[in-house]
Amino acid sequence: MIEVSDLRFVFVVTYARSGSTLLQSLLNACPDVQIRGENSNTLFHMYKAGQAVEATRVFGRHPQTRQVDEPWFGSFKVRPKLFEAGLINNFVRNVLAPDDGVKVTGFKEVRYTRHFIPKPDFAPYMDFLLAKFPNAKLVFNTRPAADVAKSAFHANHRPDQIMVWVAEADENFAAYNATSDRTILMRYQDYTRDHSLVHRMLDFLDLDWKAERVEQVFAKPLAHAKAAVPKT
């Protein structure tokens, strides 16, 4: 059975149309690495579930929670740490589900704007990722807001709204990156022009990589994009 302690983890933290699938592909070009795609913020919801269980435990300190006619009856039995550990193991085994031989796993997620993760939750959630997953590292990925807003993916939103959301996310990324030596900030407009920045990222993540594999990824159109369209 897969043990979380046997693996290392990389999480790509970004927003839609930022180049996240390109980063995912670059990471997966390294031996023994398997970075999954998006999972609808499953892990964040699990993190919030852990907080809810901890809040339940707090109520369990009151004597009346042992009475069958009390509204918080049984909360003294709650075990937040075991619950959280079980969630993490379950997530790795049944959501990431790394193949045999994989040494580094994780996922990329684009649901980090205000609609998905409120600002007060952002830094604590990043702390959770780094604390609960062995040797985890975070890759923050940004792209100019004006370019993100041009994407057809955002056709249902006003460009000025998109630019505000992206700017807020970029601020969160930069602020957290400044506090940790286990994170790296990548800028799409920079690393697509200067591939040595990708090399630096891969070194930071302690991955085995080859320059020719990096170039092969850049040369191959993404599956969800038209062949003549640059990777987004």
77 falls within a domain: no
229 falls within a domain: no
183 falls within a domain: yes
79 falls within a domain: no
Q: Which residue has the tokens 């993490």?
A: 88
Q: What is the pTM of this model?
A: 0.90
Phi-psi region of 135 (alpha: psi -120 to 50; beta: other; left: phi over 0): left
Residues 6+ apart with CB under 8 A from 20: 12, 14, 108, 110, 141
200 falls within a domain: yes
142 falls within a domain: yes
Number of domains composing the chain: 1
Closest CA to 154 of 143, 141, 142, 163: 163
45 falls within a domain: no
Q: Dihedral through CA 59, CA 78, CA 106, CA 162, nearest 10?
A: -30
Alpha-carbon gap, residue 205 to 8, rounded angstroms: 10
224 and 21 Cβ atoms separated by less than 8 Å: yes
Instruction: Render each residue's pLDDT in the chain as its tens digit; 232 residues.
Output: 778 888 999 999 999 999 999 999 999 999 999 999 999 999 999 999 999 999 988 876 777 678 888 888 888 889 999 999 999 999 999 999 999 999 999 999 999 999 999 999 999 999 999 999 989 999 999 999 988 987 655 556 677 888 999 999 999 999 999 999 999 999 999 999 999 999 999 999 999 999 999 999 999 987 655 443 444 4
171 falls within a domain: yes
- Which CATH number is 152's domain given? 3.40.50.300
Structural domain of 157:
4-40+101-219
